[in-house]
Amino acid sequence: MRVSLSERWTALTERLDGVGDWLAPLGLRLILAWEFWEAGIEKFRGENWFSGIQSDFPFPFDRVPADLSWTMATWAELIGAVALALGLGTRFFAFSLLVLTAVATASVHWPMDWMGVQELAKGYAITDKGFGNFKLPLLFALMLLPLVFKGAGKFSLDAAIASRYGSGERRPVQDALAWGLAALVLGLPLALLMPTLGLTLAIVGLLLIALDRLLLA
């Protein structure tokens, strides 16, 4: 019996999916854990320089004392790095680090002024030539998002805990509540960089969540 090309491709992708559930999130977790650990250790061993950029922090972080902001950022990076490496509380810590990355981008890497997308795109760089340099934090943010949405994967403490104490295999759901949560996950950090777009997404998310609650009432 001949096997068609589509059947061979399906068989291949099914096996890649199976292994990918173990390996794909692990790679993201380990590289992000290393990067945030290095950043946290550098702060832990260094001098507090947040006072010089306190006014550049987005609201409400610009209201927090510089010493407290430094301590919070340091331990968020250190604890978050360990949590990502172990795959423990992955969604929570990935989202926390996503917000931290957005704050760092807004206060250090984002261009001071930009008129249009073309000018903003000049800041997608490693070296700041007057247009910002948000390439690395943007890449980190895009690497954190799969961990927020998909979790730590099977090679993690989260998976081990869920297997032992969970109520069974979870199935993906794509209802109004799901899309509302997604809009909040994207909108809240984005609001620190592009307030109008980010707040619009967050409001849409809240409306979708409210709609879901009304439909279930």
Tell me, what's the pLDDT at 115?
A: 81
> Does 156 or 52 have the greater pLDDT score?
156
> Does 2 or 137 have the greater pLDDT score?
137
Residue 133 carries which side chain, given as an amino acid letter? N
167 pLDDT above the threshold of 60 = no
CA–CA separation, 68 and 50 (whole Å): 10
Tell me, what's the pLDDT at 34?
A: 97
The four Cα atoms 94, 148, 110, 114 give a dihedral, to 10 degrees, of: -170
What's the predicted TM-score (pTM) here?
Answer: 0.91
- Count Cα neighbours of 143 within 13 Å in the Cβ-side half-sphere: 21
DSSP 3: P
What's the rounded mean pLDDT across residues 137-153? 96
Tokens of 2: 């001949």
Please write the tens of the pLDDT for every residue from 91-102.
999 999 999 999
Confidence of residue 17 (pLDDT cuts 50, 70, 90): confident
